[in-house]
Amino acid sequence: MTTDYNEGEVAQQYQQAKKQPWRERIEAYSFLRFIGDLTNKTVVDMACGEGYFTRRLRQGGAAKVVGFDVSDRMIELARAQEASNPLGIEYIVHDAREVALGKDFDLGVAAWLLVYVRERQELAQMCRGIASWLRPGGRFVTFTTNPDLYSFQPRGDYRRYGFEILLEDRVYEGAPIQWRAHLDDATLEVENYYLPISTYESAFRAAGFRDFQVRALELSPADDGVDDREYWAEFMRAPPAVIVETIKG
Ligand SMILES: C[S@@+](CC[C@H](N)C(=O)[O-])C[C@H]1O[C@@H](n2cnc3c(N)ncnc32)[C@H](O)[C@@H]1O
């Protein structure tokens, strides 16, 4: 069952889960570094959630930033933060599977959006929706669950980083990938779905994208200068996410 961010405490728990150290050391570091220079760019953050990356894109120098999410609860949380610390970000409730009219953004980013798509027809719909926000030549960069999770030998063990990933015995298109984050006083379960990288690539191509590339995650240097790569070795051996980039033709 797809995770509903409007339900119960899910939205608030997700905010807590974003405080786990790997989010900063690996997720944000890799994603923002790969996104690169934002100067003068118009940017749309798709599936922005409560605005974790949206705010950083604006603070990183983007000229205009819009964030959208299908969950009105997530957008409420994002707007509340915008109200207490205004950055000039517009947040809207919108489903990435819908085509948006009259948009011509330079850059679209999406952290953890494609992961909710279970089958090809829905993926095709989402790729058309994503394309509709971008100008020709516009770039789309997404952070997404690593489809290779199913082929790591042995499978990754992420418990020391505060979460687990539960997989089926065998892999098939649409197979669930269960993320279980261990928080201070709760456990947050989020369900993603497996699709092969070749399926993503052909769906983007069919929606008019070119130059599809997959990038590996990076670990940021530790703040205190102490070499802790050994602690992160298991994460980097079996990276649970990848970055995908593609350009609208
Ligand atoms: C794991 S959260 C990620 C939020 C944010 N990108 C981040 O990294 O903190 C996934 C978000 O995707 C949103 N989402 C799922 N399907 C969507 C869709 N079809 N269109 C827009 N947002 C969607 C959910 O509501 C949720 O807020």
For 36-88, write each residue's pLDDT tens digit: 999 999 999 999 999 999 999 999 999 999 999 999 999 999 999 999 999 99
Say how many Å lie between the CA of residue 152 and the centre of ligand 1: 26
The class of domain 10-146+196-248 in CATH terms is alpha beta
**The predicted structure's pLDDT at residue 2:** 66
- Give 163's contacts (C-beta < 8 A, 6+ positions apart): 17, 20, 179, 180, 181, 182
Residue nearest to atom 8 of ligand 1 (CA): 111
Contact 241 CB / ligand 1 (< 6 Å): no
Burial classification of residue 84, based on how many CB atoms lie within 10 Å of its CB (0-12 exposed, 13-18 middle, 19 or more buried) = exposed
Say how many Å lie between the CA of residue 49 and the centre of ligand 1: 5
Atom nearest to 27 CA in ligand 1: 8
> Domain boundaries in the chain?
10-146+196-248
At 92-137, the pLDDT tens digits run 999 999 999 999 999 999 999 999 999 999 999 999 999 999 999 9
Atom nearest to 113 CA in ligand 1: 12
Contact 74 CB / ligand 1 (< 6 Å): yes
